[in-house]
Amino acid sequence: GAVVSQHPSWVICKSGTSVKIECRSLDFQATTMFWYRQFPKQSLMLMATSNEGSKATYEQGVEKDKFLINHASLTLSTLTVTSAHPEDSSFYICSARKYPLSSYNEQFFGPGTRLTVL
Amino acid sequence: KQEVTQIPAALSVPEGENLVLNCSFTDSAIYNLQWFRQDPGKGLTSLLLIQSSQREQTSGRLNASLDKSSGRSTLYIAASQPGDSATYLCAEYSSASKIIFGSGTRLSIRP
């Protein structure tokens, strides 16, 4: 198997608060995890690449100080949305790539976290 | 800029029909191509992944093809069922690390 979990599955918070989302690979190790964001009726957009033991790489236009990523172990990456605002409301999905790499380099996706900022 | 385009954006067909979903990409150095299914409010379910060295993959009633020279992939669904109703996403691995998603085709199968 290659199961990725996310916690929480949904969260509602007040504007200005911070929210942490966890992404775990349950039955494999992942040196690299990815965070995506999906707005309603739109496709997934890569936000950042999370590397175990090093700093995350952010895509252009994604504020690294607002979306803090920590990948402290081979099975866990966290995304913290700091000082969340209503425009941060979205569906956040993580993925993980197995270590060691396979020939496919396939990414395995979590079930997503629905964030609503009031 | 690398792009992935899916046409049509929405499709409605009666149950039992065979159908084809289309995906085009601009990256000639594609690494993998993957098809996903997404139900409303849910995450992604992987359907088929085709490596760049392969031309097609099959799973049950699904068959996905890859033509790098024309920059196209198709997902063929045989004998469609109402349970096949979902959004289908095409995703191109532009490198070992980066995936670019298409905007999806919303499929509705009418009983």
Cα dist. A61→A56, A65, B39 in Å?
A: 14, 12, 28
- Structure tokens, A90: 């979205």
Under the banding of pLDDT at 50, 70 and 90, the label for residue B92 is very high
Inter-chain contact B46–A103, Cβ cutoff 8 Å? Answer: no
Query: How far is A50 from B4, CA to CA, in rounded Å?
Result: 24
Quickly state the pLDDT bin for A1 (edges 50, 70, 90): confident
Q: What share of chain A is helix, strand, coil (3-state, %, to 5)?
A: 5, 55, 40
pLDDT at site B110: 96
DSSP state of A21: E
pLDDT at residue B34 tops 90 = yes
Asked if B88 has any chain A CB less than 8 Å from its own CB, the reply is no
Which of B42, B43, B96 lies at the smallest CB-CB distance from A105?
Answer: B96
Question: Average pLDDT for residues B102-109, to the nearest whole number?
Answer: 96
Query: Cα-flanking dihedrals φ and ψ of residue A87, to 5°?
Result: -70, -10
Confidence of residue A57 (pLDDT cuts 50, 70, 90): very high
Residue B28 has pLDDT above 90, yes or no: no
Of A43, A46, A93, the CB nearest to B102: A43
pLDDT recorded at residue B74: 97
Asked if the model's pLDDT at residue A102 lies above 90, the reply is: no
| pLDDT greater than 90 at residue B98 | no
What's the confidence (pLDDT) of residue B94?
83
pLDDT at A98 over 90: no
Average pLDDT over residues B78-87: 97
Q: How much is the average pLDDT of B5-30?
A: 93
Q: Is the pLDDT confidence value at B19 over 80?
A: yes
Residue B27 is predicted with a pLDDT of 81
Distances (CA, A) of B93 to B28, B30, B75, B100: 11, 6, 17, 6
Q: What is the pLDDT of residue A103?
A: 64
pLDDT score recorded for residue A41: 84
What percentage of chain B carries pLDDT values higher than 70?
99
Q: Which residues of chain B have a CB within 8 Å of the CB of A91?
A: 41
